[in-house]
A and B are shown apart, each in its own frame.
Chain A
Amino acid sequence: MSERHEAQTDEPPARGGNRALVGKLLLMAGGMFAFGFALVPLYDVFCEVTGFGGRTNTEAAVVIERPDESRTITVEFVATLGGFAPWDFQPAVTTMEVHPGRLYQTHYVARNRTSGQLTGHAVPSVAPGSAARHFQKTECFCFTPQAFLPDEERDMPVVFIIDPNLPRHVDRVTLSYTFFAGQTVAGLTDKNQTEKASR
């Protein structure tokens, strides 16, 4: 009879071996559970580096103007309301012709159509994805939540610059804001949202 077999029938040594292996496997499972959560910041970094998913900066960028007059890019501005909220929200202009490397300013107009005070948060997204990290905002209402008085209408400025390193094949860049309204960011999860909207 071999040593291995004796280890099995005489229990104790095998037990020890089992315990060590079980420990390692549990560690592996625990590690993978943690890895699932680690994917969150990893994904953010990945998106910011690659512009994956149209991710663009949500904190003010510091840039130097280096205008490239030889290139003209069309910038489109679009607005969407997240959920059905009692707001008006639209860009002041729908398109602009811009040169890369120069700062431009435009604004969106938002109006709280309720008789209560509301806070909204605009989430930016840029298409195409390959342009996202070349589209820098130095000033934007999307950096912070915006509080509105009842029935208040307000212009909300955006100052942006397109990096001259924008890929050559891109001739048109879209800046999209989705305006998530309501007192809480969890407004989306509210099961009654459809009822509220229809009111």
Chain B
Amino acid sequence: MSTTATHAPAHDDHHNAPTGIVRWLTTTNHKDIGTMYLLFALLMFFVGGAMALIIRLELFQPGLQYVQPEFFNQMTTMHALIMIFGAVMPAFVGLANWMIPLQIGAPDMALPRMNNFSFWILPFAFTLLLSTLFMPGGAPASGWTLYPPLVQQTGDALPFVILAIHLMGISSIMGAINVVVTIMNMRAPGMTLLKMPLFTWTWLITAYLLIAVMPVLAGAVTMLLTDQFFGTTFFHAAGGGDPVMYQHIFWFFGHPEVYIMILPAFGIISEIIPTFARKPLFGYDAMVYATASIAFLSFIVWAHHMFTVGMPLAGQLFFMFATMLIAVPTGVKVFNWTATMWRGAMSFETPMLFAIAFLFLFTIGGFSGLMLSIVPADYQYHDSYFVVAHFHYVLVPGAVFAIMAGVYYWLPKWTGHMYDETLGKIHFWLSVIGVNVTFFPQHFLGLAGMPRRIPDYATQFANFNMMSSIGAFIFGLSQLMFVYIIFKAIRGGAKATAEVWDSPKGLEWTVPSPAPHHTFDEAPQVK
């Protein structure tokens, strides 16, 4: 990052700040920390992606060709943990670090030292998590949900996994506290809550969700730990406990977690579409209220992840109706984005392409989500590849595409250089084709009866699995382009203007590109 501040403020202190690795270890600057989060997420995206490719390689054809079933289960478990906690969440925190202060006109995050700490926990947490692959008994192989009693059969890795989850949780909670305090206390004069950009808004709500549910996950895994080593029987039927109770506690965390991974994506899309449609966001207030109601509903729908455990009829009906209700605010969002594009003057640079792909493909994931909410039909879909297709549609062309859209959108602001538009478009088309070839056939596999989390399958599932594996390799390998494009833009390229795009809205576009090390030391006045 450039350290030459164009607006050299009076108390600019970074010119005698440490350089090299010490600078990154000790930095309290929101831009440096944001960069580190983003690069860390990118690294984890490739680690988790490599695991996904091992999975798809084994599933390329029936029969076991490359890995043992135990290792396959470790891959599915680790792939999920790394993508969720190592790639998607840190990427959003990185974007929050970079953009929230710029969007609300604050000089930095409110708690800069905590910010540094919450980042530097992550490399340790993930080293710990990845090291379990080399432990006796291997990495956890019980799925990322860590359901007991199966998880209790994990080898030596269990306490390490639980410690790693605790570290990630602490990091997330500190990051979330920082976001809330920054937004509540550091807004520029005139920046009222209902003037805040939607990315900031969705992050504020996400941060509250994080603070509310990460401790619940911490509680659940702590109970696993004491069950394993200290003789408690929270989840052992033998001692009067109940393994299903773990599922309730886990999904009380897990469902809000799903929205933690998608609400900031909504925010990014709500920034990008108006810019490239050259038209204000349609229904700003409705967008904010829809986000808030989705967040609220996320607390009362958790049991739809576990309809097959044998709940009473009334319970199943309640969770079915509550889940169906989520379609309403989500629909409002999709309609509002469409209305934003309607009668705009659109251009289709890479961020907009990713945003439009998000619109289409996230909506498809939303539809399969609605189908999954119908309990009788869910009995057929549950734990089949239909579910795998559903959540990958909302997470890959949903969350991941939104992150990529955001990176392309703000990259010129961060580096001061335009990325290579041609390469960006090729990256987009390869990604969008790869994602659909990978995940669309999985709907068919699930409906035809293929369970998830299996290393080998009956021969009638061979064709669509092969297709899916080919798509996965297209998608996975095309991400190397993403890395190349990013580093190319860091190293050089056409100079970006302060506005970068065609009259975008927001305070981040009033500072020069690249954004100087210190911005908004003088708070801007928002009208």
A touching B, CB within 8 angstroms? yes
Binding site for B on A (CB under 8 A): 1-2, 4-5, 8-9, 14, 17-18, 21-22, 25-26, 28-37, 39-40, 43, 47, 50-55, 58, 82, 121, 123, 129-130, 178, 180, 184-189, 191
Q: Are A123 and B227 in contact (CB under 8 A)?
A: no
Q: Which residue of A lies closest to B110 (CB)?
A: A18
Say which one of B91-99, B229-237, B384-392, B436-444 lies at the interface with A.
B229-237
* Contact among B173, B184, B185, B315 for A29, CB-based, below 8 A: B173
- Of the listed residues B173, B238, B240, B523, the one surrounded by the most CB atoms of chain A closer than 10 A to its CB is B238
Is B177's CB under 8 angstroms from A188's CB?
A: no
Give B295 Cβ to nearest chain A Cβ, in Å: 14
A135 → chain B, closest Cβ, in Å? Answer: 15
15 A-B pairs in the complex with CB atoms less than 8 angstroms apart: A5-B188, A8-B106, A21-B184, A25-B176, A25-B211, A29-B173, A30-B215, A34-B219, A35-B219, A36-B218, A37-B223, A40-B223, A129-B310, A186-B233, A189-B227
Tally of B interface residues using CB under 8 Å? 57
**Chain A contacts of B233 at CB under 8 A?**
185-186
CB distance from A143 to the nearest CB of B (A): 11
Inter-chain contacts of B236 with A (CB < 8 A): 185-186, 188-189
A5 to B252, CA, bound (A): 39
A5-B188, A184-B231 known, 16 other contacts, Cβ within 8 Å: A2-B190, A8-B185, A14-B110, A18-B110, A32-B212, A32-B215, A36-B219, A39-B252, A40-B223, A40-B234, A55-B242, A123-B237, A185-B236, A189-B227, A189-B236, A191-B137
Given A5-B523, A52-B311, also A36-B249 (CB < 8 A): yes
Residues of A contacting B189 in the complex (Cβ-Cβ under 8 angstroms): 1-2, 4-5
CB distance from B31 to the nearest CB of A (A): 18
Residue ranges of B at the interface with A (Cβ–Cβ < 8 Å): 106-107, 110-111, 137, 149, 152-153, 155, 173, 176-177, 180-181, 184-190, 211-220, 223, 227-228, 231, 233-234, 236-240, 242, 244-245, 248-249, 252, 309-313, 315, 521, 523, 525
Interface residues of chain A: helix, strand, loop or mixed (majority): helix
B contacts with A: majority SS: helix
Query: How many angstroms from the CA of A21 to the CA of B252 in the assembled complex?
Result: 25
User: Which residue in chain B gives the minimum CB-CB distance to A184?
Assistant: B231
* Cross-chain contact A25 with B177 (CB below 8 angstroms): yes
Q: Are B215 and A33 neighbours in the complex by a CB distance under 8 Å?
A: yes
Q: Closest 4 A-B residue pairs measured CB to CB?
A: A36-B219, A180-B238, A2-B189, A33-B215
Residues of A within 8 A of B149 (CB): 188-189
Q: Once the chains bind, are A22 and B215 in contact (CB under 8 Å)? A: no
A177 to B153, CA, bound (A): 23
From B221, which residue of chain A is reached at the shortest CB distance? A36
